[in-house]
Amino acid sequence: MDTEDGGAKLIDVARLANCSPATVSRVLNGNPTVNETVRERVARAARDLGYVPNGSARALRSTRTRLVGAIIPTLDHAIYATMVDGLQARLAEKNVSLIINTSTYDIDLEYEQARLLVERGAESIVLVGSTHRSETLAMLEQKRIGYVYTYTSRATEAGAAVGFDNEKAGRTAARYLLDLGHTRLGMIAGITQDNDRAAGRRDGFLNELERSGIDLASVPVVEGAYRLDDGKTGMKRVMEDRRRPTAVFCGSDILAAGAIKYCHGAGIAVPGEVSIVGFDNLEIAELTSPELTTLEVPARDMGRIAADYILASPSQRLHLRQRELAIRLVVRESTAVAPR
C-alpha cells in the first residue's frame, strides 16, 4: 500500500478523503464550488499519499496540455540559448513546460520535429525566422496550433512575430560605416541558404551601400557558419580582394571575433587599417581586443515576449501579433574613421 508501484491515483485520494473522484478533481483544479472542509480533507489526503496527477490522462480528457514547443537552429550559439532561457523562464512562471528541439538550420528536420511536437500536444510553437517548409506551417494551421516567429518582425496571416528587422539592421551597420567615411567595404555574412535573417542583414547592408552610390560589384561578400574559424578564413578572403576594404560588417560577433583574430595574425591593424562591426552583442564582444563594435540583439526579450504572446488569451493576442524590437548600435573600439 505504501510501496505501491506507480503511486496513488485520483481515486485513491477520493477514497481516503471519503468523497467522489469528481470532487477531488474539482479541488485539484481550484474549482470554487467545493466546501472548505472537504477541500482541506482532499488536499490533506493528496499530500499524505504523495499523489501526483497523471498529466496524460488530464491532457486527454481536458484537451489542454500546457506544453509549448520551440525549434531553434542550435543551442550552441548564445543568441539562441539566451532566447530560450528567457522563453522558458517566463513560461515556467505559469507552469507551462517547454520542449525544445534543435534543427541545425535544416528545415526538413524542422518539419519532422514540428510533427512530433504536434503529436505531443504542444499548444504553441516557437520558430526562428520565417523560412520554413510550407508543409510545416500548413500542418500547424490545420491543427490549429499557434506559432510565433522570432528574430524577425514580419508576422504572417497565421503566425505572430517578435523580433527585429534584419534588413534595417544591415542598413544601420552600413550607414554607420559610411558616415565614418568608408567607401571600400566588405561583408562576412552568415550562411544565407534557408536563412532569412542572414540574408536580410546582407541585403540591407548592400542596399544601403548601393543607395549611397557604391558599386556593389566592388564589394566582397563571403559567407561562413557562425564559427571562429569561418570568421578567420572569411576575413582572409575579404582582405585579399583586389580592392581591400577598410571596413567589414560581420553577420555575427563570432565571425567578427574570428576576423579580428585573423587581422592579429596577419598584422593588420584594427581599426587602424580596417574597421570591423559585429552582430548580436554577445559577451565575447567585450573580450576581443580591440573590443567589438556591434549591433545588439534583444535575445532574452524576444524569448520573454514570445512567452507573453503564447500565454495571452486569444483576444489579447490580436494586439501582440507583431512586435518589432529595437536594434541598438553599440560602439566600442573596433571601428574608426576611414584611413585617408
Alpha-carbon dihedral 332, 254, 178, 273, rounded to 10 degrees: 80
Max CA distance (Å), the chain: 89
Q: Kindly tell me which of 121 and 186 has the beta carbon lying closer to its own copies.
A: 121
Report helix, strand or coil for 144.
coil
Q: Single out the residue of 179, 193, 286, 339 in contact with its own copies (rule: CB under 8 A).
A: 286
Pick the piece of the chain touching DNA (CB under 7 A) from 18-26, 149-157, 234-242, 292-300: 18-26
Q: Is 120 in the site for its own copies (CB under 8 A)?
A: yes
Q: Cβ 117 to its own copies, closest distance in Å?
A: 8
In the structure grid, which three cell numbers stand for residue 54, read together? Answer: 497523471
Q: Which does 99 bind (CB under 5 to 8 A by kind): DNA, its own copies, none?
A: its own copies
> In sequence order, what are the residues at sequence separation of 6 or more whose Cβ sits closer than 8 angstroms to the Cβ of residue 167?
200, 201, 203, 204, 207
Q: Is 31 in the site for its own copies (CB under 8 A)?
A: no
49 contacts DNA (rule: CB under 7 A): no
Cell representation of residue 162:
517578435
For position 21 contacting DNA by CB under 7 A, the verdict is yes
Where are the alpha helices (H) located in the chain, listed in sequence order? Answer: 10-17, 21-28, 36-49, 55-62, 78-93, 107-120, 134-142, 166-179, 196-211, 228-239, 253-266, 299-311, 314-320
- Distance, CA of 126 to CA of 110 (rounded, Å): 12
CB of 97 to its own copies, least distance (A): 5
Q: Please choose which of DNA, its own copies, none residue 50 contacts, taking the beta carbon within 5 to 8 angstroms, the exact cut-off set by kind.
A: its own copies
- Report if residue 267 touches its own copies, rule: CB under 8 A: no
Q: Among 84, 61, 88, which residue's Cα sits nearest to residue 71?
A: 84
- Confirm or reject binding of residue 139 to DNA (CB under 7 A): no
Map the footprint of DNA across residues 63-102, applying CB under 7 A: 63
The amino acid occupying position 282 is L
Supply the minimum distance, in Å, between the C-beta of residue 184 and its own copies.
27
Among 22, 75, 138, 287, binds DNA (CB under 7 A): 22
Note whether 70 and 150 are within 8 A (CB).
no
Helix axes 21-28, 36-49, angle to 10 degrees: 90
Binding residue (CB under 8 A) for its own copies from 11, 22, 60, 216: 60
d(CA 152, CA 148): 10
Q: Which does 33 bind (CB under 5 to 8 A by kind): its own copies, DNA, none?
A: DNA
Least distance (Å) from its own copies to the CB of residue 165?
Answer: 25
Strands 293-296 and 328-330: antiparallel
In whole angstroms, give the CA distance from residue 271 to residue 338: 9
The residue among 54 and 212 lying less far from its own copies, judged by its C-beta, is: 54
User: Which segment (54-62, 176-184, 203-211, 267-275) binds its own copies by CB under 8 A?
Assistant: 54-62
Residues making contact with its own copies (CB under 8 A): 5-7, 50, 52-57, 59-60, 65, 67, 74-76, 78, 81-82, 84-85, 88-89, 92, 95, 97-102, 113, 115-121, 139, 142-144, 228, 254, 257, 261, 283-284, 286-289
Residues making contact with DNA (CB under 7 A): 6, 9-11, 18-26, 28-29, 33-35, 38, 51, 53-54, 57-58, 60-63
